[in-house]
Amino acid sequence: MYHYDEFDRSFVQERVAEFRAQVARRLDGSLTEDEFKPLRLMNGLYLQLHAYMLRIAIPYGTLSSIQMRQLAMIGDRWDKGYGHFTTRQNIQFNWPKLADVPDMLQALADVDMHAIQTSGNCIRNVTADHFAGVAADEVEDPRPTAELMRQWSSLHPEFSFLPRKFKIAITGAQHDRAAIKAHDIGIRILRHPQSGETGYEISVGGGLGRTPMIGKTIRDFLPKADLLPYLEALMRVYNAEGRRDNKYKARVKILVHEIGIEPMRAAVEAEFTATNRDAVAPDSAEIGRIEQAFMPPAYERLPDESAFLARHSAANAEFAQWVAVNTFGHKQPGYSAVTVSLKPIGGAPGDATSDQMRALADAADAFSFSELRVTHHQNIVLPNVKKDDLFELWQRLAAHELATANIGLISDIIACPGMDYCSLATARSIPIAQAIAQRFASPERQRTIGELGIKISGCINACGHHHVGNIGILGLEKSGAESYQITLGGDATETAAIGERLGPGVGADDIPDTLERIVDIYLAERSPDERFIDTYRRVGIDRFRGAIHALDS
């Protein structure tokens, strides 16, 4: 993985000192709260329902065991002994005090981490496929590009006061695990059909929130060397033309929707043509330097099948199930990528205690070249585990309640913090996720149902990505009571789609029953090997309407 050089390090150290001075100027009145707000947001500091919340960047979800241990330390020292991994591959601490934040940022800088641009109307922390560099289906590793964009977007002189937040995601695989079409800019690495050269397909104008939109392709093929000049051109068009009269219409998706993708493309191409590319792009040696940091680790040459794994799988059904559900095909024979679930039945999705973080760091040191990933599904990946080691890893994880076998299944639920923490929320999310997971707790039943993603948001800002959940649940407030709107058919992958509303809202207590009825209809209708989303697409929403028993009927 990428390690800071002296320049990255002094940049982050200076940023900490700058923020310390900004906090001091806020406290002595030189900065008003209105002036301080965007500055603190650009350093990841929110004012939440009960306290400040600090959101720490985990660039493209990649971190080392050393960094994970530091997060555990921060959780112990300045929070309540846990942290919350988010849908943007970051981690949030929900209970810091303002006066402690500069010290927390310093503790992060000590391990080459920061909270830069995890919030605010700027280019946010770049996200990527959590199996980057190890996925068997990958065209090319997206991490070098993600790192290049991390650097380029940090304290950008022109694009730090945009109309609204701006999110970029990248994948290097055909199968999209990074939800790129739900981002302001989505980037897919692909091979040029004629030349065979790798480059980027760029989409723009995706986003969720109150007006969900799927991103549209603006460039079919961008040569890799042109990436930063092209992004600069696109950002300039957005910065100049994006609406600023209404924050709910300020994302680039609205600009693209209002002017149309063709005029948008023309405006960006005109700006790109006028840009002096050589003055903007990094030289090829710099690209090479970053790529070098992502060379594969020293894999052993192994047969792809592990007799040891086979023996333990045969003897231990629970282990075999975990292997079947939580491991992913690796490009290196004899290795697996393991997803560690942060969704124990009845837990808060994405929460990990400091002890669990240390256990994960230890497991990464023992079994995965000291590297970990955070997924946008709020789980943790150990990307490079020998199949021979899976049994021992599983035992260790189980000792820390980290061996839940539910990746991609109905209890692997994405949920925003909701009314339990967030000042914007109109309803609870976490308790809803817990109730659903408890209802479908049986591992056999989950396996029978198969791949089914539930995503829950506690308000229309859609941090839980409910629009692109196979089953989406949106919590609203309706005459003093929580009312949950259910959508079906959402999809965050390369076949991206926004879910359709099933019917009127249902009460919190009725959600498990309603979901049960939806699942029953699916099981009754499905053809062999069909996932929920496949059956849904084939039979349509009307077949599911009977599952709703309306709130006020």
Partner 1 sequence: MPLIHENKFVPDHWQRLADDQPVPADGKIIIPLQRLDEARQVRGSALGSIGIHLANIARIDDVIPLLPNLPLISIAFPAFSDGRGFSLAKRLRRLGFKGTLRAHGPLIADQYPHALACGFDEIDISESHALRHREAHWRAATGSISLGYQRGYVRSGTILDRRAASRRA
Q: Which residues bind partner 1 (CB under 8 A)?
A: 5, 7-8, 10-11, 14-15, 17-18, 21-22, 25, 29-32, 35, 38-39, 121, 151-152, 154-162, 228, 232, 236, 239-240, 244, 274-276, 279-283, 285-286, 289
Select 281 or 337, whichever has its Cβ closest to partner 1.
Answer: 281
**C-alpha of 67 from chain center:** 18
Nearer to partner 1, 286 or 304 (CB): 286
Cβ nearer to partner 1, comparing 23 with 397: 23
Instruction: Give the tokens for residue 69.
Output: 């241990």
CB of 81 to partner 1, least distance (A): 34
DSSP string, 125-183: PPEE-TTTTTBTTBSS-SHHHHHHHHHHHTT-SSSSS-SS-B-EEEE-BSS-SS-GGGS
**Closer residue to partner 1 in complex, CB, 125/514:** 125
In whole angstroms, how close is the CB of 279 to partner 1 at the nearest point?
Answer: 4
If residue 282 lies in a helix (H) or strand (E), which one and from where to where?
none
DSSP state of 333: T
User: Whose Cβ is closer to partner 1: residue 77's or residue 277's?
Assistant: 277
Residue position matching structure tokens 């990946």 = 381
| 3 state SS of 314 | helix
Residue whose entry in the numeric block shows the structure tokens 């991994």: 85
> Residue 405: is it exposed, middle or buried by C-beta count within 10 angstroms (0-12/13-18/19+)?
buried
Shortest distance, CB of residue 156 to partner 1, whole angstroms? 6
Quickly tell me which residue has 């988010």 as its tokens.
86
Residue with tokens 């002595």: 28
Distance of CA 96 to the CA centre of its chain: 23
Task: Find the shortest distance in angstroms from Cβ 287 to partner 1.
Answer: 10
CB of 102 to partner 1, least distance (A): 14
Instruction: Name the residue among 355, 343, 547 with its Cα closest to residue 455.
Output: 343
How far apart are alpha carbons 443 and 438 in whole angstroms? Answer: 11
Comparison of 7 and 193: residue with beta carbon closer to partner 1: 7
Residue (272 or 367) nearer to partner 1, CB: 272
- Smallest distance from partner 1 to CB 57, Å: 15
For the record, the structure tokens of 476 come out as 């609203």
Q: Among 109, 534, 141, which Cα is nearest to 373's?
A: 141
Q: Is 542 exposed, middle or buried (0-12, 13-18, 19+ CB in 10 A)?
A: exposed
Q: Which is nearer to partner 1, 286 or 552 (CB)?
A: 286
List residues bridging with 454 in a β-sheet: 471
Nearer to partner 1, 155 or 345 (CB): 155
The residue (of 18 and 513) whose beta carbon lies closer to partner 1 is 18
Residue 518's nearest CA partner among 500, 532, 504, 534 is: 532
Residues 6+ apart with CB under 8 A from 43: 15, 19, 101, 105, 115, 116
Sign of CA dihedral 511, 87, 265, 263: positive
Q: Which is nearer to partner 1, 283 or 318 (CB)?
A: 283
Least distance (Å) from partner 1 to the CB of residue 461?
Answer: 19
Sheet (strand 500-501) strand order: 414-415, 454-457, 471-478, 481-488, 500-501
End-to-end CA separation in angstroms for the chain = 56
**Closest separation in Å from C-beta 170 to partner 1:** 18
Instruction: Write down the least CB distance from residue 30 to partner 1, Å.
Output: 5
Nearer to partner 1, 71 or 233 (CB): 233
CB closer to partner 1, 47 vs 155: 155
Q: How far is the CB of 21 from partner 1 (least distance, A)?
A: 7
* Pairwise CA distance, residues 377 & 404, whole Å: 14
User: Least distance (Å) from partner 1 to the CB of residue 237?
Assistant: 9
- State in angstroms the smallest separation of the CB of 96 from partner 1: 22
Q: How far is the CB of 539 from partner 1 (least distance, A)?
A: 48
415 to 58, 248, 346, 463: CA distances (angstroms): 19, 22, 13, 8
Q: Measured from the CB atom, is 98 or 441 closer to partner 1? A: 98
Residues in Cβ contact with 354 at an 8 Å cutoff, skipping those fewer than 6 apart? 72, 73, 75, 76, 81, 82, 83
Q: How far is the CB of 15 from partner 1 (least distance, A)?
A: 7
Contact predicate 162/242, CB 8 Å: yes
